[in-house]
């Protein structure tokens, strides 16, 4: 097992100490403890549980296409390269499940469609939906981040088209899973980092979880998502944590639709007691917050 969350016994003891405290229930004020847990889950969502190629036929098709373009020798070299940079998604999934046990959580399901990935994890008290963020090796992820075109949303307001499209790649499957009996009565937290934070914000508005309810949405380094009108009817609290030096949180650039409007009805909270070697300064913006900041 590759341990992502703990490098020593003291780390494991610290995790256990934090987990012994209950998370706040629905629509409560910002919680350092909840933020820490959400950041752990957001980090674990980067474990590559999705296969490099969805199936062997696509891998073979890719290699045949390369052979036509470059010849057999180049195909052999490329095959070696794929094997070198590839990964065992089954092992990564096992590592994900094993790391979740440190957090007293279980892996419920993973989702993967056109480079949009998400996971649902849960225990007997709550469930968490985490979206994977931008991967530097993913052209689709980078394109989703860069597609700074605002489109009208049926519920009102304007939303970043790239984030909206990426969210809808997995939205139906996620909603169907959340509606099952084992999850529907649990409070639902939503989280994500970078692109994943943007998708989490979209989910906080569009996902329905009426029985358990959406307890809160915690995002880390999320870019802008929408204009003010779009977020006005979001009932779940959204806590947006950003590194002041992170340029991603200022993207996409403001235009006549999505503008730099500052913090709306929010107030900053300092995140205390973070080890300098393991974290950066964070600014927390509390709900209601304009996601276009």
Report the CATH number at residue 245. 3.40.50.1820
Q: Are residues 60 and 201 in the same domain?
A: no
Question: In terms of domains, do 156 and 72 share one?
Answer: no
Question: Which pLDDT band holds residue 72 (cuts at 50, 70, 90)?
Answer: low
Q: For residues 92 and 81, state if they share a domain.
A: no
In a domain, 290, yes or no: no
Is pLDDT above 70 for 65? no
Query: What is the number of alpha carbons within 13 Å of residue 265 lying toward its C-beta?
Result: 10
- 80 within some domain: yes
Count how many domains the chain has: 2
* Residues 211 and 271 reside in one and the same domain: yes
Q: Is the pLDDT at 256 greater than 50, yes or no?
A: no
Q: Could you tell me if 69 and 181 lie in one domain?
A: no
- Residue 14 CA to residue 36 CA, distance in Å, equals 12
- Residue 245 shares a structural domain with residue 157: yes
* 19 falls within a domain: yes
* Mean of pLDDT over the chain: 73
Is the backbone peptide bond immediately before 13 cis, with ω within 30 degrees of 0? no
Whether residue 30 is contained in a domain is answered as yes
* Proportion of the chain above pLDDT 90, given as a percent: 30
> Can you give the pLDDT at residue 58?
55
Are 82 and 201 contained in the same domain? no
The model's confidence at residue 10, banded by pLDDT at 50, 70 and 90, is: confident
Q: Which of 35-39, 260-264, 289-293 has the highest mean pLDDT?
A: 35-39
Residues 211 and 74 both lie in one domain: no
Q: Whole-prediction pTM value?
A: 0.72
Q: For residues 127 and 164, state if they share a domain.
A: yes
- 184-220 pLDDT, tens digit per residue, is 999 999 999 999 999 999 999 989 987 778 999 999 9
Please report whether residue 3 resides in a domain. no
- Domain presence at residue 58: yes
pLDDT at 221 over 50: yes
Q: 199 and 81, same structural domain?
A: no
Q: Which two tokens stand for residue 152?
A: 């009208």
Residue 66 shares a structural domain with residue 132: no
pLDDT (0 to 100) of residue 232: 82
State the DSSP string of 130-196.
Answer: EE----TT-HHHHHHHH---EEE-TTSSEEEHHHHHHHHTTHHHHHHHHTSHHHHTS-EEEEEETHH
pLDDT of 174 over the 70 cut: yes
Say which residue the tokens 């509606």 belong to. Answer: 179
Q: Which residue would you say has higher pLDDT here, 147 or 271?
A: 147
Task: State the Cα–Cα distance between residues 119 and 208, nearest whole angstrom.
Answer: 17
Rg over CA atoms, the chain: 20
Regarding whether 188 and 155 lie in a shared domain, the answer is: yes
- pLDDT at residue 75 in the model: 52
* pLDDT band, residue 64 (cuts 50/70/90): low
Taking CA atoms, 211 is separated from 57, 176, 188, 193, in Å, by 42, 14, 10, 26
* Residue bearing tokens 């779009």: 230
With respect to residue 292, please indicate whether it lies within any of the assigned structural domains.
no
Classify residue 267: in a domain, yes or no.
yes
User: Is the previous residue joined to 253 through a cis bond, with omega within 30 degrees of 0?
Assistant: no
Q: pLDDT class for 227, splitting at 50, 70, 90?
A: confident
- Find the domain containing 139 and state its range: 9-48+88-285
């Amino acid at each position: 097992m590759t341990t992502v969350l703990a490098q020593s016994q003291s780390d494991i003891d610290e995790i256990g100490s934090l987990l012994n405290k209950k998370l706040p229930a629905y629509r409560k004020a910002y919680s350092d403890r909840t933020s820490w847990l959400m950041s752990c889950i957001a980090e674990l969502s980067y474990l590559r549980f999705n296969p490099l190629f969805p199936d062997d036929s696509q891998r073979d098709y890719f290699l045949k296409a390369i052979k036509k373009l470059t010849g057999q020798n180049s195909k052999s070299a490329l095959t070696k390269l794929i094997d070198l940079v590839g990964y065992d998604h089954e092992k990564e999934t096992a590592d994900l499940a094993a790391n979740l046990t440190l957090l007293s959580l279980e892996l419920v399901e993973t989702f993967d469609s056109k480079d949009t990935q998400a996971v649902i994890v849960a225990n007997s008290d709550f469930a968490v939906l985490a979206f994977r963020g931008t991967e530097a090796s993913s052209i689709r992820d980078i394109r989703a981040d860069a597609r700074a075109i605002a489109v009208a949303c049926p519920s009102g307001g304007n939303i970043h088209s790239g984030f909206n499209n990426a969210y809808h790649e997995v939205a139906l499957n996620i909603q169907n899973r959340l509606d099952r009996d084992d999850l529907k009565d649990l409070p639902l937290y939503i989280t994500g980092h970078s692109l994943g934070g943007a998708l989490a914000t979209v989910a906080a508005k569009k996902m329905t979880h009426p029985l358990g309810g959406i307890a809160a949405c915690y995002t880390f380094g999320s870019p802008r998502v929408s204009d003010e009108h779009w977020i006005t009817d979001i009932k779940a609290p959204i806590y947006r944590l950003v590194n002041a030096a992170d340029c991603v949180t200022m993207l996409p650039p403001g235009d006549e639709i999505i503008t730099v409007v500052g913090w709306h009805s929010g107030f900053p909270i300092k995140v205390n007691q973070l080890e300098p070697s393991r974290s950066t300064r964070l600014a927390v913006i509390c709900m209601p917050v304009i996601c276009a900041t």
